[in-house]
Chain A
């Protein structure tokens, strides 16, 4: 007999105001509200936390690791790096 497999939600956790939300894991949950509760119990029972986001895993659009050209920058872009300028650091 096949069983019910709840969908997964990705969990993002913010440790304090001012910090970014970080991905910390995922939970199986029947809906987003319950996912928030499960995320709290699984990922915020020790870590300090002021905010949690949950996102249905299937709603995430991601790049493909295979497609390295997506991130490739073959021409010289060093002019974007502040360190490549001779200007003094105190500026």
Chain B
């Protein structure tokens, strides 16, 4: 059996990583303390580096370079989840979002270790190494800030309440998911979502943070149904590059 085409999957992951990395880098120079400024700048570089891995894999299949995909593609062609497109919010929201993303990455990448696609297997192994550290850091922050002071508790709970349904949007089914699943490329997103819920629950519970009760996943991104936040972000991202399209910068 031939491996089904994985372009859409690669782009969805690449877009997630790029956009979240872009958001995290908004903390560079503006973090609560110098040490955390350095830490979040590292995480931003890692995420953008992961985007580069997925865009490069895409280039090998589709022929368009990472710079072309990130800096020339119209914003409404991106297929990132809405989750990564929201403004950075306060530090609590950023920490919760990054923690949720780190767990989602871990769940997804682990599932790739058994994929029929070689590029998914090898890239996942590479990215997992860095993701482990992100999770150590962001989970550590959730566990410390979750119940430290009245203010930190209130902010972290607000972060969880806002980000939880958004995070579930990371597991929105891809348009061609059935083919990918049948070909052994990936685990269905609905299963990954279940693993994610199970993985974040004990961490939240340990500091008495509670996910919202009634919720629907904040989906749409994989079908290019985006909010104005992404339009603004991509406009910024591409603004200099587009002054001389295809030019050397």
Contacts and interface: CB of A to CB of B under 8 A. Distances in A.
Do A and B touch directly, given a CB cutoff of 8 Å in the complex? yes
Interface of A: 6, 27-30, 33-34, 37-38, 40-42, 45
Interface stretch (B34-42, B70-78, B89-97, B113-121): B34-42
Interface residues of B, number: 12
Interface in B27-82: 33-36, 38-39, 42
B205 interface: no
A28 B39 contact: no
A38 B140 contact: no
A45 B42 contact: yes
Interface in B137-153: 137, 140, 144
Given A28-B35, A42-B35, A42-B38, A37 B144 contact: no
A45 B39 CA distance: 10
A33 B35 contact: no
B190 interface: no
21 contacts: A6-B33, A27-B35, A28-B33, A28-B34, A28-B35, A29-B35, A33-B140, A34-B140, A34-B144, A37-B39, A37-B137, A38-B35, A38-B38, A40-B133, A41-B35, A41-B38, A41-B39, A41-B42, A42-B38, A45-B38, A45-B42
B162 to A, nearest CB: 25
Interface of B: 33-36, 38-39, 42, 133, 136-137, 140, 144
Main secondary structure on chain B at its contact with chain A? Answer: helix
A49 to B, nearest CB: 13
Contacts of B140: 33-34, 37
Nearest to B137: A37
The 7 A-B pairs at the shortest CB distance, nearest first, are namely A38-B35, A41-B38, A41-B39, A41-B42, A37-B137, A42-B38, A27-B35
Between B34, B38, B136, the greatest number of chain A beta carbons within 10 A of the residue's beta carbon is seen for: B38
A34 B33 CA distance: 13
A11 to B, nearest CB: 11
Contacts of A37: 39, 136-137, 140
Nearest to B45: A45
A42 B41 CA distance: 11
Nearest to A28: B35
A33 B137 CA distance: 10
Nearest to A42: B38
Nearest to B141: A34
B203 to A, nearest CB: 15
B144 A38 contact: no
Given A28-B34, A40-B133, A41-B39, 5 more contacts: A29-B35, A37-B136, A37-B140, A42-B38, A45-B38
